[in-house]
Amino acid sequence: MAQGVGEKTGKRWPKLILRWVIYVILSLLLMYEATHCSQIEECSGVEAPGGALSHTDYTTIVEFGTSRKPQSHRVILVTLAAGTEPDEVLSNVCAQRLFTARLIKRLNDLNVSVIAFDKFYNPKSCTREGEERATQAFVAAVRASRAVIVRGLPSVMLDHKQTANITGDSTQNPKEREVCLRETATLDLPIPASNSGLLRLDADTRRIPLRWPAFQEDGKTVKLVDSFALVAVRAIEPEVLDTPVLQQALDSGEQPYSTNIPFAGRSALAILCGRNSKNATDWEKCETDEPWSEINGAIVVVGDHSGDTDKHPSIQGLIYGVDLQANYIAALLDQRYYLPLLETVGNGIVIVVFFIVLQLLLWKFSHLKYGPLRAGLVGILLWATVLVVSILIFAFKGYLLTVWVQGINLITIIASCAEHWVATME
């Protein structure tokens, strides 16, 4: 009788092995697809689709493992919003420069540390009488500011044909990454180049933009350009940028992941003219001495909340670009960012090794009663150990074993044990 059982079991092994091979291949394909659909390259020229941004697999673990609480109070969002600020300021370039000049002076009176403009100041002329006065007032306010002024640099996306037509020497890019951006002209302001950062967002808005290679305005030289968020943080607290995770991200050209926190925007008109200001037409003459204690020493990020302009898909739905920039700045200050622990190949090796270990456990317990169940319990214990170690590595080092790998390993345990259990029942 025992010999018959042995022969019957021996006939099942080739079938089980074939199923295991197929399962491992499918798991690796799933891991590869899951990894690459959520890591969209900037040079793809398209924004991340909603599906790629709806994954919240990292969010729970990241929020649980982050040791530092978000310090969103250090970053103040000031918006020029439709329905709140005067229509003239939103629609007229010249009026907006006059408005911004007064806003800079007011923010200096409130003792802010950095004023970061998530806005593109076009070098073209204003359309209102007194255009020279408006531009001069704006430039004078920037020059007289005690707070550091950080300016956003605009860029355009180049397709492959346009890139090929540029005569510049792309070998000047030290990272040898694909170059798809070119800086565009902006208003000449008395702001050092070190205080100017690229406004371009990564297509995957869960990632903090740090640095990209871009053709300069001359179309000939390639330079690694710091992002707007990186420049803003460096202006107020450069020491927080000196971490192993961030340095690795900068060296590899990989944008680190982060989580979003909600930001309540303050009205630019309310700061300039007072919280209870009802008359939007007096913005050129209004005066107020209202205290805004939360603004003292903060980074103030100024940008637009106007209609559908500058909206981007994110895990929170459509969100304005200035809200994303404020999030990126806050995340860098909080050191609320991380990198995957392994590359795609490393993730594949982890899956294969875990699969082999599980099969060895199934083989070792095969002669015992409830062997597949016992092997499954040991496998679950091993899986939980890897998960806990992964969270600890993230909490203290900023690296996380991708959740997709842990999910595939868990499915491996359930599927393999079920296969063996069914085999013993036949």
Which pLDDT score is estimated for 117?
95
Taking each helix axis from N to C terminus, what angle separates 403-425 and 371-397, rounded to the nearest 10 degrees? 180
pLDDT of residue 64: 53
Token reading at 391: 């969270």
User: For residues 116 and 149, what is the distance between their CA atoms, to the nearest angstrom?
Assistant: 6
The per-residue pLDDT for range 158-197, each reduced to its tens digit, is: 876 566 555 444 444 444 567 888 888 888 888 998 999 9
Confidence of residue 47 (pLDDT cuts 50, 70, 90): low
- Asked if residue 283 has pLDDT above 90, the reply is no
pLDDT band at 5 (very low <50, low <70, confident <90, very high): very low
Whether 369 has a pLDDT exceeding 90, the answer reads: no
pLDDT grade, residue 143 (50/70/90)?
A: very high
Task: Using pLDDT thresholds of 50, 70 and 90, give the confidence band for residue 258.
Answer: confident
Inform me whether the pLDDT recorded for 326 exceeds 90: yes
Confidence check: pLDDT of 67 > 50 = no
**pLDDT value of position 332:** 92
Q: Is the model more confident about 265 or about 15? A: 265
Smallest Cα–Cα separation from 23: which of 420, 426, 383?
A: 420
- For 383-396, what is the mean pLDDT? 82
Cα separation of 101 and 272, whole Å? 11
Return d(Cα 26, Cα 18) in angstroms, integer. Answer: 12
Q: What distance in Å separates the CA atoms of residue 423 and residue 420, rounded to the nearest whole number?
A: 5
Choose the weakest-confidence range: 52-61, 123-132, 406-415. Answer: 52-61
Average pLDDT, the chain: 78
Highest mean pLDDT among 201-205, 254-258, 400-404: 254-258
- pLDDT over threshold 90, residue 203: no
151 forms beta bridges with 117, 196
User: Which range has the top average pLDDT, 25-39, 221-235, 339-353?
Assistant: 221-235
Q: What is the mean pLDDT of residues 240-268?
A: 86
Confidence of residue 3 (pLDDT cuts 50, 70, 90): very low
